């Protein structure tokens, strides 16, 4: 799989341009709150500033995160009103939907089905937090014969999901109550959401309150220790505020789950794009090894390294499976 197939540079760069403009509109004058590492609560160290947002690294668990960060209300307004959010929900999704369905969501739906079966959760009701354009929900419906419940606060995306006859709860998770959800065992999933969260601990605490003993939570997010993010650092397009605030890693996410009372079942990094991202952003690489590698390695060598990066936990695409004990 190539990055261009699921994230065409022309469209993605336009989204990033709009997002950069939105940082001034929605966050320029708002109150900011300082905090510690979102994973282990250690005081962080300055890393860099990007688009007016300060990133820190944790000296204990090596997470990368925004600190201080604007108050939560500013992000709620941004995600419901901003031009970049609307562009993502309309233009980006529409122009990439079928490619992402084939390359991302069909394999992801099969992976979630198999993961649920592995942990004896095949009979669970599936809850998709941040269901976006509804592609995953459609593929799950094709596999299970029943659609998951989609929790989607964005007005544009909630409409898209309803038009696909998907059951939608149009709320941020913080406002979802047990009465909004069906009875019985559940598996909650979220994809590429965790890095956006204003307060990951509060999110997990709220989710824990909606879960019963034995319920699963499966999520994917960006790992800040991933090869492409480490090599590109502040020039990584993944490290772009205001939408990406938290970059945990396999070790730090385990600390966070343990701290909040979840049973950590598995953390993997099944990424496929790290090397391709480095190739596409070679001019921004500062490390001499990776400069030489992307310029001279054969396709077979690049494929072998990508497989090794994913299998050893060093991809920037991270998947976590946990349970409420």
User: 87 or 48, which is more confident?
Assistant: 48
Mean pLDDT of the chain: 94
Residue 94 has pLDDT above 80, yes or no: no
Q: How far apart are CA 316 and CA 298, in angstroms?
A: 22
Residue 167 — very low, low, confident or very high, per pLDDT cuts 50/70/90?
Answer: very high
**Average pLDDT of 305-311?**
98
pLDDT of res. 89? 76
Q: Are 29 and 5 in contact (CB under 8 A)?
A: no
Residue 166 — very low, low, confident or very high, per pLDDT cuts 50/70/90?
Answer: very high
Q: How far apart are CA 71 and CA 78, in angstroms?
A: 11
Domain count for the chain: 1
Residue 100 has pLDDT above 80, yes or no: yes
pLDDT of res. 5? 80
User: 159 or 6, which is more confident?
Assistant: 159
pLDDT of res. 91? 84
Residue 60 has pLDDT above 90, yes or no: yes
Q: Are 155 and 80 in contact (CB under 8 A)?
A: yes
List the domain range (segments joined by +) for residue 293: 3-323
CA 126 to chain centroid, in Å, comes to: 18
pLDDT of res. 132? 86
Report the CATH number that the domain containing residue 177 is assigned in CATH.
3.40.50.150
Residue 231 has pLDDT above 80, yes or no: yes
Residue 3 has pLDDT above 90, yes or no: no
pLDDT digits (tens, 9 = 90+) for 117-154: 999 999 999 999 999 889 999 999 999 999 999 999 88
């Amino acid at each position: 799989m190539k990055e261009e197939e699921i994230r065409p540079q022309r469209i993605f760069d336009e989204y990033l341009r709009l997002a950069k403009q939105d940082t001034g509109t929605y966050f320029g004058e708002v109150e900011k709150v300082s905090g510690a590492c979102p994973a282990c609560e250690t005081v962080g160290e300055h890393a860099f500033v990007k688009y007016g947002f300060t990133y820190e690294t944790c000296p204990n668990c090596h997470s990368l995160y925004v600190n201080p960060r604007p108050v939560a209300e500013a992000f709620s307004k941004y995600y419901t009103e901003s031009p970049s959010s609307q562009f993502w929900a309309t233009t980006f999704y529409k122009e990439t939907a079928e490619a992402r369905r084939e390359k991302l969501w069909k394999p992801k739906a099969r992976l979630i089905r198999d993961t649920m079966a592995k942990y004896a959760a095949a009979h669970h009701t599936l809850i998709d937090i941040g269901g976006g354009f509804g592609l995953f929900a459609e593929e799950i419906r094709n596999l299970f014969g029943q659609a998951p419940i989609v929790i989607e606060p964005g007005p544009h995306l909630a409409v898209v999901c309803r038009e696909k006859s998907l059951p939608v709860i149009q709320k941020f998770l913080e406002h979802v109550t047990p009465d909004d959800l069906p009875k019985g065992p559940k598996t909650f999933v979220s994809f590429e959401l965790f890095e956006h969260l204003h307060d990951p601990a509060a999110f997990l605490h709220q989710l824990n309150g909606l879960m019963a003993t034995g319920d699963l939570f499966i999520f994917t997010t960006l790992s800040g220790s991933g090869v492409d993010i480490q090599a590109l650092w502040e020039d990584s397009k993944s490290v772009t505020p205001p939408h990406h605030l938290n970059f945990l890693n396999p070790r730090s996410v385990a600390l966070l789950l343990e701290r909040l009372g979840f049973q950590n079942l598995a953390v993997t990094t099944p990424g496929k794009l790290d090397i391709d991202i480095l190739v596409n952003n070679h001019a921004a690489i500062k490390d001499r090894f990776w400069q030489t590698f992307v310029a001279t390695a054969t396709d077979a060598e690049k494929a072998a390294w990508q497989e090794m990066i994913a299998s050893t936990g060093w991809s920037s695409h991270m998947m976590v499976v946990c349970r409420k004990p």
